């Protein structure tokens, strides 16, 4: 059983919303208190969660009318979202849980800022775009499930706080929906 890192116990975080993040992070048993089998799952999802999403997009490109155009537009929108998110995170400069001593760096991630989560923004963007572009496609469930599972995994592995992924998913969904409305 892992104990909480001493630096994490003494944390005096001044931001009200981050205090709630730390409480939720600890309630999830993320970081130092992670269960080994869940941590393995979180690490796997963090590294490979894009594969089922990619497979779903490939299948949609194959099956849908104008599917290749839709999927390439979706990927373009997600790419723009990724660039914008990284710039915003750099300016916001909110530290990640492992940078505050709340977790080991399970994903061997760089210490750059983590709010909002780029993974969540990109996956949310894909989900938002395809939900408008192909609302009846059953593969939307795969895309949504992978976005949520990857968001959980990034928190559990100590790369993000809950608000990082919630903000990322929300921003991604909004951007993806807007992009689909403009481009499709």
pLDDT in tens, 61-85: 999 888 899 999 999 999 999 999 9
Q: How close are the terminal C-alpha atoms of the chain, in Å? A: 51
User: What is the chain's alpha carbon radius of gyration, rounded to the nearest angstrom?
Assistant: 17
Unique residue bearing structure tokens 């991630």: 109
Examine the pLDDT at 180 and tell me if it is beyond 90. yes
CB-facing half-sphere around the CA of 100: CA atoms within 13 A:
26
CB-facing half-sphere around the CA of 113: CA atoms within 13 A:
12
Q: How far apart are CA 43 and CA 15, in angstroms?
A: 28
- Residue with the bigger pLDDT between 16 and 99: it is 99
Q: Are 122 and 172 in contact (CB under 8 A)?
A: yes
pLDDT in tens, 94-143: 888 888 888 877 777 777 777 888 899 999 999 999 999 999 999 999 99
pTM score of the predicted model: 0.85
Q: How far apart are CA 83 and CA 78, in angstroms?
A: 9
The confidence score (pLDDT) of residue 32 equals 82
The confidence score (pLDDT) of residue 17 equals 72
What angle in degrees, to the nearest 10, is found between the helix axes of 140-156 and 50-63?
170
Q: 68: which residues sit within 8 A by CB, 6+ positions away? A: 61
Q: How confident is the model at residue 2 (pLDDT cuts 50, 70, 90)?
A: very low
């Amino acid at each position: 059983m892992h104990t909480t890192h001493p630096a994490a116990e003494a944390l005096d975080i001044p931001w009200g919303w981050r205090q709630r993040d730390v409480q939720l992070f600890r309630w999830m048993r993320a970081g130092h208190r992670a269960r080994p089998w869940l941590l393995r799952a979180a690490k796997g999802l963090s590294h490979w969660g894009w594969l089922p999403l990619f497979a779903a997009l490939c299948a949609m490109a194959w099956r849908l009318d104008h599917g290749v155009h839709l999927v390439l537009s979706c990927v373009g929108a997600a790419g723009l979202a990724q660039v914008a998110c990284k710039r915003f995170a750099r300016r916001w400069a909110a530290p990640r849980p492992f940078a505050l001593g709340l977790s080991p760096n399970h994903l061997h991630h760089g210490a750059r800022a983590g709010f909002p989560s780029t993974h969540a923004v990109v996956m949310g963007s894909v989900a938002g775009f395809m939900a408008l572009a192909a609302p009846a496609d059953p593969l939307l469930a795969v895309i949504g499930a992978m976005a949520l599972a990857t968001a959980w995994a990034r928190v559990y592995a100590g790369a993000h706080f809950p608000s990082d992924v919630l903000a990322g998913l929300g921003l991604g969904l909004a951007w993806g929906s807007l992009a689909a409305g403009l481009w499709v």
